[in-house]
């Protein structure tokens, strides 16, 4: 195998691991409510997933930048302010970019941007990337894996969403409680694969 083939194989394995074992939603409970919004309507699903992937990638890159920049060494109370500023900046730039590039479809695109930008999956990615992504390309891979984990979970839930909300389910469990139990069962399977709770702190 050549070097590039090795890298490609490593990326594929990492993404599969993110989908199955170290999944952001099932293992760390990040972005659960955004996942429910995405899974509710199959028409919105690709847009929201793409949006979350974009923001986790951008968030991971920002986290890497914050970790590398010694001048920005922050004490803990100020972390959220910087993280919120980073997300806000990416969000504003994305909206302006979408307006300039896709002017005719901007009204539709901005919905996805609103849903995808401010959620725990993106915030968690920035935090974990700033604290954990050590080598050059690792932050790209980390952002990609976070987005892939969310996408996998959202697609999985979208497959059963209509059934979990159907009249066949007892009224007390219909909808949200059934979704939580479903997510818990999948999380249990993920826990079984990994054999431990992922390090999230």
Partner 1 sequence: MKTEKKSEKKWSFFDGILIHNPVFEAGMSIAPAVIIGSTLEGAAVYAAFFSAVTFISLIISSFLPRKIPYALRIILYTAAAAIVYIPVYIFLDRVIPSDLAKLGVFLPMIVTGEFVVSASEMRFFRMGRKRMTADIISHVIGYDIAIIFLGAVRELFSMGGINGEIYGIKTVIPILSAPCGGFILIGFIGAFIRICAKK
The residues that touch partner 1, with contacts defined as CB under 8 A, are: 26-33, 36, 76-81, 83-85, 87-88, 91-92, 95, 110, 114, 118-120, 122-124, 127-128, 170-173, 176-181, 183-185, 187-188, 190-191, 197, 200-201
Q: Give, as one character, the DSSP assignment of residue 104.
A: G
Q: Are 3 and 9 in contact (CB under 8 A)?
A: no
Closest CB to partner 1 among residues 5, 73: 73
Smallest distance, Å, CB 131 to partner 1?
A: 8
Smallest distance, Å, CB 46 to partner 1?
A: 21
Closest CB to partner 1 among residues 124, 149: 124
Closest CB to partner 1 among residues 43, 76: 76
Smallest distance, Å, CB 114 to partner 1?
A: 7
CA distances from 162 to 169, 178, 183 (A): 10, 11, 15
3-state DSSP helix/strand/coil % of the chain, to nearest 5:
80, 0, 20
Q: Of 127, 117, 159, 92, whose CA–CA distance to 31 is shortest?
A: 117
Smallest distance, Å, CB 105 to partner 1?
A: 17
Please tell me the distance from the alpha carbon of residue 114 to that of residue 80, in angstroms, as a whole number: 19
């Amino acid at each position: 195998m050549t070097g590039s083939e090795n890298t490609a194989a490593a990326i594929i394995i990492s993404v599969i691991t993110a989908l199955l074992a170290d999944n952001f939603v099932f293992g760390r409970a990040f972005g659960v409510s955004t996942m429910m919004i995405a899974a509710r309507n199959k028409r919105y699903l690709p847009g929201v997933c793409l949006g979350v992937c974009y923001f986790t990638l951008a968030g991971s890159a920002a986290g890497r930048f914050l970790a590398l920049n010694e001048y920005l060494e922050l004490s803990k109370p100020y972390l959220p302010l910087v993280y919120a500023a980073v997300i806000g900046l990416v969000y504003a730039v994305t909206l302006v970019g979408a307006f300039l590039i896709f002017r005719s479809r901007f009204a539709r695109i901005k919905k996805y941007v609103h849903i995808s930008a401010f959620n725990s999956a993106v915030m968690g990615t920035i935090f974990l990337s700033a604290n954990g992504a050590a080598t050059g390309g690792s932050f790209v891979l980390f952002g990609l894996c976070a987005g892939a984990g969310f996408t996998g979970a959202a697609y999985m839930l979208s497959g059963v969403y209509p059934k979990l909300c159907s009249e066949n389910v007892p009224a007390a469990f219909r909808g949200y409680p059934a979704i939580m139990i479903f997510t818990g069962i999948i999380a249990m399977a993920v826990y079984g694969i990994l054999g431990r709770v992922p390090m999230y702190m």
